[in-house]
Structure 1
Amino acid sequence: MKKLIYPLLLVTTAFSSCQKFLEENPKSIMVEGNFYKTEADADAAITAAYDVLNNQWDIYFRGIYLLAELPTDNAECGQGVANSNIFALKDYTFGPVNDRIYTLYPALYKGIANANTAIDKIPGIAFNDTKKNRLLGEARFIRALLYFNLVRLFGDVPLIVHQTTSLNNVNVPRTATAEVYKQIISDLEFGEQNLDAVNSNANLGRATKASATGLLAKVYLTLRDFPKARDKAKAALDITGYGLLDSYFDIFTPQNRFNKEVLFSVQCKGNTGSGNGFGLALYLPRATIALPGGGTVGGNSADVPTQEFYDSFQPGDLRRDRTFFTQYDAGAGLAKFRPHWFKYFDPAAITTLGEGTLNYHVIRYADMLLTYGEALNEISGPTTEAFEAVNKVRRRAYGKPTATANAQTDLAGLDQQAFRDAILNERRWEFGFEDQRWFDLVRTGKLVSTLKAKGNKMIQDYHILFPIPQRERDVNKSLTQNTGYPQ
């Protein structure tokens, strides 16, 4: 009998020891139970929310580009495009099964999820209330920005404003667009009250009051609430510390990536060896620019502007040669090529194309001037003040002092419709490769007519919204589909 019991005791003891060995010690690993306890944890939660924005492919840099620049008259598929889903976006033959639409949609919700976690958890951490509210303002700004993208691209979308803690509440139905906008406005108003007024060396790259007010102006312009768009644009313009740079070229130079014109930008950290910078490969010329050590720059010529966009710039408009380039010398001789995007080119990353150091600008001072001019025109026609707001942008574009009237560059004598059209053109020239064109065309009701006039035979009225990705509907059975797409 002893011989039977002894081995059993050994097995029992070993199993008990094994259980203790396999038990996780939450004091030594990061889990929710021991996180969100300190001020440093709150900072980390906000960093996680910002981090989703800084991804070379999913949202900014390319994800938004493929839906907001490529399907317009600004861009086309270059020789480096091999994905049929990308051609479909350009041709307006896309449907709910499209891997590029699917890449962007869940990425936006991932960013919202990180922001929601910060918003839910930070209030329970004991530290300075002023800083706590500032961090919450940053999280709510990020959430508002991502929902603003979602609601403009897809219309009604699930509105999720708290951390998801159970699989029982993941199948959220679509929320009416008006309700989504109410949340966006609420988040941004909180930001206006609690964010730092401007960026300083201590908070470079973070959202500020100017970011929230500027985004509110764009939200109200999209909603066609022109008095509020006017007021918010004017408020953003009046915040001390911001203004137009003298040179359009200087907005996008690596050494000047933090400048007074930027109300909010997505930060890049290039030259780290981590591929966490602004990716250049897809929009640089393919096997064309020679390198001093032999070989050529590893561009792919995938994302390229249309020749029509390049040719649309008026003589003397300096923005053309900052938005595009048609030749470049990397130290081994001048190479010439068809127009390619140039605005975010970083010469220091010419051999490490994933390491660009420029930031991606989301809201600029020039945007506020053009928003202000547009809102004034919609309210009461082209007033002197509306003309002046737009003409400041135009003067800079032609290398003239922005505060001095100039008969060669200034718009004058236009009626309301002509001025409306002029502003839309101005936005096209000012924000090329900043992924605003599709939003501007949809917002002004010009998407379908503009593209049809330029030869697109497939675009339909329902294309003012993209389809809800089919993979999302397969998982979440409560999601309906936008009109015009397979139901």
Structure 2
Amino acid sequence: MKKIKSYLRSPLLVLGLLSGCLVSCHDQLKEEVFSFVGAINYWKTEADATAGVLGAYESFLNNNYFGRFYFELTELPTDFTTINRNDTFQQLDRWDLLANHPFVLQVWNIMYEQIGRANGVIQNVPKITMDATKQKSIIAEAKFIRAFDFFNIVRLWGAAPMPLQVVEGVSTTQLPRTSVDSLYIQIEKDLKEAEADLPATRTGAEVGRVTSGAAKTLLAWVYLTQKKWPLASAKAQEVIAGNQYRLLPKFDDVFSVSNKNNAETIFSIQFDGTTRGHALSSFSNAGGTNNPYCFQGVNVYSVDPKSDIWTKWDRNEYRRNFTVYSSVRGKNGNMITVDPNFPSFGKYRCPAEIGINNSFVNPPVLRYPDALLIFAEAEAQAKGGPTAAAYDAINQVRRRAYNLPSNTPDATVDLKNLSLQAFTDAVIEERGYEFVMECHRIYDLLRTGTFKTKIQSIGKAAPRGSIYPIPQSELDANTRIGINGQNPGW
């Protein structure tokens, strides 16, 4: 019995138990109604295949993922964000945590749970007699989801277990850490296959599910992270040249609850706020029930007042004044002044929210500016300096940030005549401003090797490790990793 309890602490076993059963659900991307069905009796029909892949999407809505805790893992340790909460939160803010930190384990678990669900689809849907095009598309969705999770895992934890099949027993949960290079090979393979079989667009009830454009954009980001500059530039250019996406004229329209899944959105997480909602709107605003942006601004996530987005960002920029603030006019007309030590994020505005965990703003995962800024950086690196096309890509984003027409050159904001290093620095800065609270910042700091210096520059201590610790429960349960397999510094 003691041995069984030990194995049940392993998330790899948990994902096996979950993927040995499949989530049966109805109503596209609203998986709140589900039941567990034995796998041996499942995977018979096209409806089973659809329900299976929707079950994989459902993990995104979990409180441990885009519902909340993924933001705490990716935002709190950065230079942009701070928190005025108990020490469990502040450990992440200080980057001074233990390997048994509950949020680290919860995010690790949900990613491996989702990989298990995706593996169930990839392994079983090919056995179903159904429309061939739809079959390929569903498998491709699962490959995109699996690749996205492995991409997050490899960036946050480095080498990690890489299950590619449904885990059916304790013996198969004892997986060693797969090397970073091998993880990236698998990620690229999944995304190339997904790109080939996913549809370019979605309509009706399928809106919100991934497309070939999402696979291309994520693959470009994967190439960028590995410094595969020509491949990143070419793949991002495919997205741009496809003319399927565009910058909206006004930055705030991108995040409007009345304009979800707009022309700028490549992939976002679909919350309806009633059956499934998230905490970003209330948790990143201040002012209690008088705040017009949310149900009750409780200011959990705050702007670090020493960060560039507070001290350096041009206060005349339209995008800045939508994204961060120190005062806001309340519902009753009075001005709410925010604690100067904890300015607020304003991006996730949900006036009709019915509770602090019921926001139905769709958190973006990939937007058209991703393609433009990936292209700008990779093109400049590949060519040894910024080209006219690279300048145009970043300047489109900058113009829109000032509420100017994005395709019309404007000498007041356009970049020009920069060295390769200065241009690269400008792209990283622009990415920081554009993607505030979109789970991008930590990855940009890690891939550019500036994580430690950046957080030290605002007064945080030097990190104990450069990536997250493997959760202690995984080390305890998985003998193929063991206590000696922890990441350096932890």
Same fold (TM over 0.5): yes
Distance 2:276 2:373 in 1: 35
- Structure 2 distance, partners of 1:328, 1:165, is 56
> Hey, what's the Cα distance between the residues in 2 that align with 1:412 and 1:231?
22
Alpha carbons of 1:30 and 1:62: their partners in 2 closer, same or farther (altered >3 Å)? closer
- Mapping of residues 449-460 of structure 1, within 5 Å: 449-460=453-464
- Residue of structure 2 equivalent to 1:303: 301
3-state SS of paired residue (1:381): coil
- SS of corresponding position for 2:439: coil
Partner of 2:12: none
CA, structure 1 residues 290+255, in 2 after alignment: closer, same or farther (shift >3 Å)? Answer: closer
Q: What per-residue deviation string (whole Å, max 9, x for no partner) do you get for residues 36-73 of structure 1?
A: 11111111001100000112x31124222222211111
* Residues 1:165 and 1:474: Cα distance change in structure 2 (over 3 Å): same
- Choose from 53, 68, 74 the match for 1:68: 74
1:140 aligns with 2:138: no
Structure 1 residues 263 and 206: alpha-carbon distance in aligned structure 2, compared to 1, 3 A threshold:
same
In structure 1, C-alpha distance between the alignment counterparts of 2:74 and 2:319, rounded to whole Å: 20
- Whether the 8 Å contact between 2:285 and 2:344 is mirrored in structure 1 is yes
Give the aligned partner of residue 396 of structure 1: 400
CA distance in 2, matches of 1:387, 1:171: 49
1:17 aligns to what? none
Determine the C-alpha separation between the residues in 2 that align with 1:456 and 1:447.
11
1:38 and 2:71 equivalent?
no
CA deviations over 1:210-243 (Å, ceiling 9, x no partner): 0000000000000000000001100111223211
1:94 aligned partner, one-letter code: L
Deviation, 1:290, is 6.6
Using the aligned pairs only, state the percent identity.
32
Q: How far apart are 1:485 and its partner, in Å?
A: 3.3
Q: Which amino acid aligns with 2:450?
A: K
CA offsets, 1:97-131, max 9 Å, x none? Answer: 21111111111100101100111111111100100
How many residues matched? Answer: 446
- In the alignment, is the contact (CA less than 8 A) between 2:396 and 2:406 conserved in 1? yes
Matches of 2:37 and 2:487, distance apart in 1: 45
Please name the residue that 2:475 is paired with. Answer: 473
Cα distance in 2 for partners of 1:257, 1:169 equals 41
After TM superposition, the structure 1 = structure 2 runs for residues 321-336 of structure 1, keeping only pairs within 5 Å, are 321-325=321-325, 326-331=327-332, 333-336=334-337
Q: What is the alpha-carbon distance in structure 2 between the residues aligned to residue 107 and residue 438 of structure 1?
A: 19
- Deviation of 1:202 after TM superposition, in Å, equals 4.5
Structure 1, 232-241 or 274-283: larger mean CA deviation: 274-283
Summarize the alignment of residues 74-223 of structure 1 with structure 2, pairs less than 5 Å apart.
74-78=80-84, 81-82=85-86, 84-223=87-226
Q: Is the 8 A contact 2:295 2:355 kept in 1?
A: no
Inter-partner Cα distance in structure 1 for 2:298 and 2:291? 14
Q: Larger Cα Rg: Structure 1 or Structure 2?
A: 1
In the alignment, does 2:351 pair up with 1:347? yes
Quote the Cα distance in structure 1 between the aligned partners of 2:298 and 2:239: 39
**Secondary structure in structure 2 of the residue aligned to 1:116:** helix
Letter in 2 for 1:51: E
Which residue type is aligned with residue 163 of structure 1? V
- In the alignment, which of 339, 363, 368 is matched to residue 365 of structure 1? 368
Deviation at 1:334, TM superposition (A): 3.7
Q: Which of these residues, 236, 239, 254, is aligned with residue 236 of structure 1?
A: 239
Determine helix, strand or coil for the equivalent of 2:61: coil
| Per-residue CA distance 1:237-289 (angstroms, 9 max, x = gap) | 1223211111111000001111111111111111x2x3535553322325472
Give the partner amino acid of 1:318. Y
SS at match of 2:206: coil
Could you tell me which residue of structure 2 aligns to residue 24 of structure 1?
none
Give 3-state SS (helix, strand or coil) of 2:442's partner. helix
Cα pair 1:269 1:277 within 8 Å, conserved: no
How far the C-alpha of 1:354 sits from its partner, in A, is 2.2
Does the C-alpha gap of structure 1 residues 147 and 358 become closer, same or farther in structure 2, counting only changes over 3 Å?
Answer: same
Helix, strand or coil: the match of 2:459? coil
Task: Give unpaired runs (5+ residues) of structure 1.
Answer: 1-27
List gaps (5 residues or longer) in structure 2.
Answer: 1-34
Structure 1 match to 2:7: none
Per-residue deviation, 1:458:
2.9
Offset at 1:465?
A: 1.1
Cα pair distance change 1:322/1:176, threshold 3 Å: same
Describe the superposition over 1:284-328 as per-residue Cα deviations: whole angstroms up to 9, x where unpaired: 32547279xxxx954332211112322321142111122123313
Q: Distance in 2 between matches of 1:331 and 1:354?
A: 23
